[in-house]
Chain A
Amino acid sequence: MSRSLFEKVWEMHKIRKLPTGKDQIFIGLHLIHEVTSPQAFSMIRESGLKIPFPQNTFATVDHIVPTALQERPFQDGLAEKMMVAIENNTKEFGIRFFGFDTAKQGIVHVIGPELGLTLPGLTIACGDSHTSTHGAFGALAFGIGTTQIKDLLATQTLSLSKPKSRRINVHGNLGKGVYAKDVILAIIHKLGVNGGIGYCYEYNGDVLTQMSMEERMTICNMTIEGGARMGYVNPDQTTFDYLRGREYSPQGDEFKRAVEFWKSISSDKDATYNDVVNLDGAKMEPMVTWGINPGQAIGISENFPEVQSFKEEDRQTAEEAYKFMSFKPGKSVKGTSIDVAFIGSCTNGRLSDLREAAKIVKGRKAAKNVKALVVPGSQQVASAAEREGLDQVFTEAGFEWRKAGCSMCLAMNPDRLTGREICASSSNRNFKGRQGSPTGRTILMSPAMVAAAAIKGKVADVREFLD
């Protein structure tokens, strides 16, 4: 019978059907960070549980790390306490921890792939909703809560309900200045922020098969913003080329055998899905959000939509968004003044993101009243970018070049908006208060668009910079 990658990988990892009717699923890779894990380790300790598969578990620190001064102890006592907790917990239970001194620290969803920990055919879980990122490799990867982290530590399995499947095909070719971020914002806009509840997504079509691994990661990363817990791309030559030679990837003959396995788990040609959605990539343009969730997005050439243009059930959120953002329906989004420009995050903090932004920035200056910062997704991204001189390009243009972490994506470290500031941001969420000021405002866009906005001091069309 023809099956999708989702069906194959799910069944392969199924231990049994539990008495509740849920499936018990083995998890091949468990990633850990400092915010959602300490309570789980406490539960393990209090219950006297053991960790049977510590070698399948890896940890790093990302959410709370300061990106300017990283001397220990951190100036923020609570952040220091969390750092000490993850250091001690991983040491006590024999879990590999990528701290600052390893030169491999970074956002958990950036380092998993770059270290070759993230592989096709794996089940991957982490106490973070953007774990969906790893689906770019043809893995089933999803976020979990802290009590589930306890289950996972104690058994290497989770109790899960099997989702339905939806294939999303993006056909055609993307125009100049249209990036992976625009594609996923367009998908979420079309299907709604709750459209994916209960589904596992397969992203397919010419646009996806032509994308690099980093672009695919951007797409899969924001799967959760559309309500789906996991989304993947079938592994192909692009995937295999990316993985060859990475530290934790299979090596030599084992790599060859692995490729055979990876090919075998791709969706069969005539696999069926509960739902299929088709989008035309050629019609997409650079996207920006205007509201308080990632589905409230428009093309850069569009005007802020009229409240009446929404379905009745979405009007109240639209009104709330306009009130919070102080934007007016009917006005052009282009030209909206910004105060802060943020390039980074697990969505868009990888080397290719920084390269695309640097292309726009090179030889130009950030607008005077804009605070612009670049936060590489990992220490390895930072050093690769520095080897190419990207840090110079940014600093010469008046951007701050920071150390790796989640930073202003969720503002658990000292990087945050103040008051009513508006931030052009390459991150993933424009929720109220997300960037650290309860009244601060976020406009999501691609890193190149953030660069363009930083230079103009207002939301701009990146295509005007590309010639």
Chain B
Amino acid sequence: MKTKLKKTKAQKQGSDSPLDAMKIRTVSGRGIPLPGNDIDTDRIIPARFMKCITFDDLGQYAFYDARFGENGVKKEHPFNHPKYKEGTVLIVNRNFGCGSSREHAPQSLRRHGIRAIIGESFAEIFYDNCTAIGLPIMTSTRENVEGLMSLVKESPTTEVKIDLVKREASCGDFSIAIEQPDQTRKALTEGTWDSTAELLSSLEQIKAVAGKLPYMNGYQAGAKQ
């Protein structure tokens, strides 16, 4: 099934409302297939590159040790392959982003140009970190992911088009269903993935709940769990 995907109004025109500008409803771009299960965040960004106090320079170090051998010799890796040079939609297998909680991992991928990730499954902290920075990730079945990977391998210039609202991704005539938890989809498509303002809006309520917690009031009687 072929689906025509339209850019949101906000993406087309820029936007007046800051919330509109943050709405992520569709993502389109060439794919990069990165096969393999259990790819951990140490592999995405080796620890030695975390010696920094900003995320700014991390893009160049994404998958560094998988891409470069000693003396900087290039290795066979999708991120090095000329045919995926313009890829922005990363396609992965199972339990991607496991291990460390380092946000440096999604930050390096985004700075490398990745705008969305489709995979069989993701580690939870990695998933939350991606959502928190507005990098949408979606799951699909193994069969679908493998299908998409082969298609991109054969036809790397064909764009992968993702529609978060319709929950589907397509590449040419090939179309697959994609899953996200409702809460994540809502946050991304409604532009509320930067949660600080929303959380802060209930500061009085926060203080009220905190005051009733036994460990916040000297374990005084009356504090109930």
Contacts and interface: CB of A to CB of B under 8 A. Distances in A.
A309 interface: no
Contacts of A129: 99-101, 125
A224 to B, nearest CB: 8
Given A20-B186, A121-B215, A229-B124, A144 B196 contact: no
A260 B123 CA distance: 36
A453 interface: no
A313 B120 CA distance: 12
A53 B182 contact: no
A147 B131 CA distance: 10
Interface of B: 35-38, 40, 42-43, 46-48, 50-55, 65-66, 69-70, 94-95, 98-104, 106-107, 121-125, 128-129, 132-133, 142, 181-184, 186-187, 190, 192, 194-196, 198-200, 202-203, 205-207, 209-210, 213-216, 218-221, 223, 225
B121 A254 contact: no
Given A121-B214, A147-B132, A433 B37 contact: no
A145 interface: yes
Nearest to B199: A155
A64 B49 CA distance: 12
Contacts of A271: none
B46 A8 contact: no
B183 A317 contact: no
**Contact-size category for A:** 35 or more
Contact of B183 (A8, A21, A35, A128): A21
Interface in A212-271: 224-225, 227, 229, 250, 254, 257-258, 260-261, 264-265
Given A53-B210, A317-B36, 11 more contacts: A15-B206, A18-B198, A19-B198, A20-B186, A28-B215, A49-B200, A82-B51, A147-B133, A229-B125, A257-B221, A438-B65
A150 B195 CA distance: 10
A9 B65 CA distance: 41
A429 interface: yes
Given A21-B182, A21-B183, A432-B42, A313 B99 contact: no
Nearest to A24: B199
Interface stretch (A156-164, A277-285, A350-358): A156-164
A135 to B, nearest CB: 15
B101 A128 contact: yes
A157 B199 contact: yes
Contacts of B223: 261
A255 B129 CA distance: 37
A143 B125 contact: yes
Contacts of B69: 438
Given A151-B195, A250-B219, A26 B210 contact: yes
| A15, A42, A81 — most chain B CB neighbours (10 Å) | A15
Nearest to B133: A147
B200 to A, nearest CB: 5
A94 B70 CA distance: 44
Nearest to A38: B53
A382 interface: no
A261 B213 CA distance: 10
A145 B69 CA distance: 29
Interface stretch (A165-173, A192-200, A383-391, A395-403): A192-200
A76 B48 CA distance: 12
Nearest to B142: A313
Nearest to A437: B65
Given A129-B99, A144-B101, A432-B42, A47 B196 contact: yes
Contacts of B107: 146
Contacts of A466: none
Given A13-B209, A145-B102, A313-B37, A159 B198 contact: yes
B207 to A, nearest CB: 8
B195 A197 contact: no
A144 to B, nearest CB: 6
Contact of A145 (B42, B128, B202): B128
Contacts of B101: 36, 127-129, 131, 143-145
B125 A36 contact: no
A52 interface: yes
24 contacts: A8-B225, A12-B213, A16-B202, A18-B199, A20-B184, A20-B190, A20-B192, A79-B51, A82-B53, A147-B132, A154-B196, A154-B200, A158-B199, A159-B198, A161-B181, A193-B98, A194-B38, A227-B124, A229-B124, A250-B218, A254-B218, A293-B98, A431-B43, A431-B99
